[in-house]
Structure 1
Amino acid sequence: MPAVLPNDLRTSRLILHEPRPEDASLIFQSYAQDERVSRYLIWKPNTRLAETESFIDGCLQGRLDGNRYAYVLVLPSDDDIPIGMLDAKISLHGVEIGYVLSPVHWGKAYMAEAVAAFAEAVLAMPEHFRVQAYCDVDNPASARTLENAGFHREGRLERFIVHPNISREPRACYLYARCK
């Protein structure tokens, strides 16, 4: 049986919950079309709502399959409005994460808070020993997010991930991890 991750998480300022189909239109409007948001990500800005809906469908299917757990981030005061997402994929002894946040909420340390809470919950589970993430070497904001969440830079991976909004060729990334 595949390992399961928490269904929902709460921090002092955020709620992380399972995506819902109705989140797609709000995510599309809020940040999925924004070139600034997708600059260092593996996807191009969504140009149609159907792209965002397909992404949410994939997140929900991954949960059913037990190998992917996506979380929508919301503020408790406005819990119907997604401000970002954290996406987690289960590997042999750990979890790999990626994340995205609406530019309106950049600079407020929301993502570091979400990543730290998620890592603590995962590492409290006996079957997981590691939570890891990658970030482009030219993305200091993401590196700072991971460091503020208690992650440590383990290395630099050359020609590792294609960020199609920057180049069609694989780019160097830093590998960060938090382990128990």
Structure 2
Amino acid sequence: MKKILSITLLLIGASTFAQEKASVEKSIFNIQTGFVGLWVNNELKLSDQIALHSEIGMEPSWFVGNGTQWHPNFRLEPRFYYNLNKRSEKGLNISKNTGNFFAIAFNYRPETVLFPNNKNLGAIESFSIVPKWGIRRNLGKSFNYEAGAGLGFRHETNYGNYGEIDLHFRIGYSF
């Protein structure tokens, strides 16, 4: 009886120490849409809590009284998912990087117009760096939503420097 009890305690102790820490996924591909725009992105695991979010998207620029033009946007965004362990301990879903994150978004918008409705508008090349906070949650097995906000710096090559507000709410599908 003592041997059985000892073996049982040993196995319980070993299984407790063998539990893995919560971690971001190795690689996730997503298609997302928001109020305006369409994006394709990938999140690649760099460590247990850090993923590199890389993205190609199409979004509009509005010129009051002159029209709208659609342009590509390229983004690299290291994300620190800070609450995965806490969510896992509470029994909440962390699959497909479901959690809260801090990030720094590096955006590049080339001097390219995809769908102009006013041919006289010139394209504006810009770079921006925006620290931000966000959340990502699953809606079922493969659908998700993401929301985030940040305030940062934008440089337009022909016009100068500005502040940039990054607010997003997107719904997407993960592969």
- For normalisation by structure 2, the TM-score amounts to 0.32
Determine which structure has the larger strand proportion and give its number: 2
TM-score, normalization: structure 1? 0.31
Determine which structure has greater relative contact order: mean sequence separation of CA pairs < 8 Å that are 6+ residues apart, divided by chain length: 1
Q: Say which structure is richer in helix.
A: 1
Q: Which has the larger radius of gyration?
A: 2
